[in-house]
C-alpha cells in the first residue's frame, strides 16, 4: 500500500504568497492605468536625448561655461521646426484632399470618355449606362466628402486638442530633463559612490544614452537629405507640369518625417507625395514615383552607409521585429523609437554577458585597455618623429 503524504502550509506562508500575487496584480493594474502618462514621460526622455547632441554642439560654439543658453537655443529650434511642420504640411494636405474630391467627378468623366466599352460590358451584365452610373456615384461620393468635411473637422477637434495637450506636456518635460536631468543623475550616482555595481550601471546607462543620441542625430541627417532632395525634385516637377511651386516645401517635409520610420518610411512618404501630385496631374505623380524608386536605391546604398556608418549592428530580423512590435504598440511613434530601444536591449544583453564571463577574462580587460593605450602612444610618437 502506498503511503499518503500530507502537505502542510503555515498561515504566514499562505498569507505572504497571496500578498505577493496581489502586489503584482496591483502593480500591473497601476501600470495599465498610467500607460498614457508613462508613454508621455518616455517620449519626453527620447526627445531630450535627441536634442542633447545639438545642445553639445551649441555649447562648443557659444563662449562661456553656461549650459542654459545652448539648451534654450536648441529647444527653440526644435519647437520651431515642429510648429513650422504643422503649419505648412497640415493645410497643404487638407487643401489637396479637398481639391481632389472636388475635381474627382470631372476627372472621372473626362477619362471615362475613352472607355466606351464600359456600356457594352454593363449591357452584358444587365446594367444599362454603366459609364453614367459610375460617374454619378463618384459625383455623389465627392460631394459628400466636400460637404461633410467641415462637420468631420469639428468632431475631430477634441482628439486634436488631446494630442496638442500631450505634445505640450512632452515638450515641457523634455525641457526639464535637459536642464535638471544631468544634476539629478549626478546626485543619484553619488549615493552609490565606490560601489562597483553602480559604476557598471552608470556605464551601461551612458552607453544606452549615446546609442539613442547617435541614432537620432544620424536619422535626422538622412531625413534632412531626403527632404531637401524631395523639395528640389518636386519644384522641378511643378515647373514642368505647371503646378503650384509652393508644394515643394510641404512635400519635402512630409518625406523627411516619414523617412524617420525605419525600413519602410521613405517609401511610404514617397508614395504619399506621388499620390498627392497625382491628384492634380497623374503624370506628375508618376514622375515622382519613378524618382522615389531611384532615390531609395541611392539612400540605401550610399547615403545611409555614409551617414550612419556601422549603425547599431542589428541584424535585419531584429530590426524588422522591433519595428513590427513598435507599430502595433504605439503606431508611427512606436516605429520611430523601436530601433534605438532595440539597440539599448542589445547593450543590456552584451553587458549581462560580460558579467557572466569568467573572472580571468574580466581581470584581463584592464590589461587589454592599457596595451591599447600604449600602442596608441607608440603610433603617435612614430608620427611625430
Sequential pLDDT tens for the chain (385 residues): 455 556 566 777 778 878 888 888 888 888 788 878 888 888 888 888 878 888 888 878 876 656 678 888 888 888 888 888 778 777 777 776 666 666 666 666 565 555 555 656 666 666 666 666 666 666 666 566 555 555 555 555 555 667 778 888 888 888 888 888 888 888 888 887 777 788 888 888 888 888 888 888 888 889 989 999 999 999 999 999 988 888 888 888 889 888 888 878 899 999 989 988 887 788 899 999 999 999 999 998 888 878 766 667 778 788 888 888 888 887 777 888 888 888 888 888 888 888 776 654 555 554 555 555 555 555 555 555 4
Residues 317, 321, 322, 327: is their CA dihedral positive or negative?
positive
Task: Choose among 44, 73, 50: nearest CA to 61.
Answer: 73
Q: Would you state the pLDDT for residue 235? A: 92
Domain boundaries along the sequence of the chain: 35-182, 194-353
Q: Would you state the pLDDT for residue 240? A: 92
Q: Would you state the pLDDT for residue 229? A: 94
H or E stretch covering 288: helix 282-298
- CA 47 to chain centroid, in Å, comes to 11
Task: Choose among 279, 25, 27: nearest CA to 145.
Answer: 279
Task: Choose among 286, 232, 288, 228: nearest CA to 259.
Answer: 228
Q: Would you state the pLDDT for residue 143? A: 62
- 327-341 pLDDT, tens digit per residue, is 888 777 788 888 888
Burial of 71 (0-12, 13-18, 19+ CB in 10 A): buried
pTM for this one? 0.68
Residue 266 neighbours by CB under 8 Å, 6+ apart: 226, 255, 258, 259, 292, 295, 296, 299
Q: Would you state the pLDDT for residue 368? A: 53
| Residue pair 334/308 in contact by the 8 Å Cβ criterion | no
Instruction: In whole angstroms, give the CA distance from residue 146 to residue 152.
Output: 10
| Residue pair 220/252 in contact by the 8 Å Cβ criterion | no
Tell me if residue 63 falls in helix, strand or coil.
coil
Q: Would you state the pLDDT for residue 225? A: 92
Instruction: In whole angstroms, give the CA distance from residue 146 to residue 39.
Output: 36
Instruction: In whole angstroms, give the CA distance from residue 262 to residue 243.
Output: 31
Q: Would you state the pLDDT for residue 288? A: 95
Amino acid at each position: 500500500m502506498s503511503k499518503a503524504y500530507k502537505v502542510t502550509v503555515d498561515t504566514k506562508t499562505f498569507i505572504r504568497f497571496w500578498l505577493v500575487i496581489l502586489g503584482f496584480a496591483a502593480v500591473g493594474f497601476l501600470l495599465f492605468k498610467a500607460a498614457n502618462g508613462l508613454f508621455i514621460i518616455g517620449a519626453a526622455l527620447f526627445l531630450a536625448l535627441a536634442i542633447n547632441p545639438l545642445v553639445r554642439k551649441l555649447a562648443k560654439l557659444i563662449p562661456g561655461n553656461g549650459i542654459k543658453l545652448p539648451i534654450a537655443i536648441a529647444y527653440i529650434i526644435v519647437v520651431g521646426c515642429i510648429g513650422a511642420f504643422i503649419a505648412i504640411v497640415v493645410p497643404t494636405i487638407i487643401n489637396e484632399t479637398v481639391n481632389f474630391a472636388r475635381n474627382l467627378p470631372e476627372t472621372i468623366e473626362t477619362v471615362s470618355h475613352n472607355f466606351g466599352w464600359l456600356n457594352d460590358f454593363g449591357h452584358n451584365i444587365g446594367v444599362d449606362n454603366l459609364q453614367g452610373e459610375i460617374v454619378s456615384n463618384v459625383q455623389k461620393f465627392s460631394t459628400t466628402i466636400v460637404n461633410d468635411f467641415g462637420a468631420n473637422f469639428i468632431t475631430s477637434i477634441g482628439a486634436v486638442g488631446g494630442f496638442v495637450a500631450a505634445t505640450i506636456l512632452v515638450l515641457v518635460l523634455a525641457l526639464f530633463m535637459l536642464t535638471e536631468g544631468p544634476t539629478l543623475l549626478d546626485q543619484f550616482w553619488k549615493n552609490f559612490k565606490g560601489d562597483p555595481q553602480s559604476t557598471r550601471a552608470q556605464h551601461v546607462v551612458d552607453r544606452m544614452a549615446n546609442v539613442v543620441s547617435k541614432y537620432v542625430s544620424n536619422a535626422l541627417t538622412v531625413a534632412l537629405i531626403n527632404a531637401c532632395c524631395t523639395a528640389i525634385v518636386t519644384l522641378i516637377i511643378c515647373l514642368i507640369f505647371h503646378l503650384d511651386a509652393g508644394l515643394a516645401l510641404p512635400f519635402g517635409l512630409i518625406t523627411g518625417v516619414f523617412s524617420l520610420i525605419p525600413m519602410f518610411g521613405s517609401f511610404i512618404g514617397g508614395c504619399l507625395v506621388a499620390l498627392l501630385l497625382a491628384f492634380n496631374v497623374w503624370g506628375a505623380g508618376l514622375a515622382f514615383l519613378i524618382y522615389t524608386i531611384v532615390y531609395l536605391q541611392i539612400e540605401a546604398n550610399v547615403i545611409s552607409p555614409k551617414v550612419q556608418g556601422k549603425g547599431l549592428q542589428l541584424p535585419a530580423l531584429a530590426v524588422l521585429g522591433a519595428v513590427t512590435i513598435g507599430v502595433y504598440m504605439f503606431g508611427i511613434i512606436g516605429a520611430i523609437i523601436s530601433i534605438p530601444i532595440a539597440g539599448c536591449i542589445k547593450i543590456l544583453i552584451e553587458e549581462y554577458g560580460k558579467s557572466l564571463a569568467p573572472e580571468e577574462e574580466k581581470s584581463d580587460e584592464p590589461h587589454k585597455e592599457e596595451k591599447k593605450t600604449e600602442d596608441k602612444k607608440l603610433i603617435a610618437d612614430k608620427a611625430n618623429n
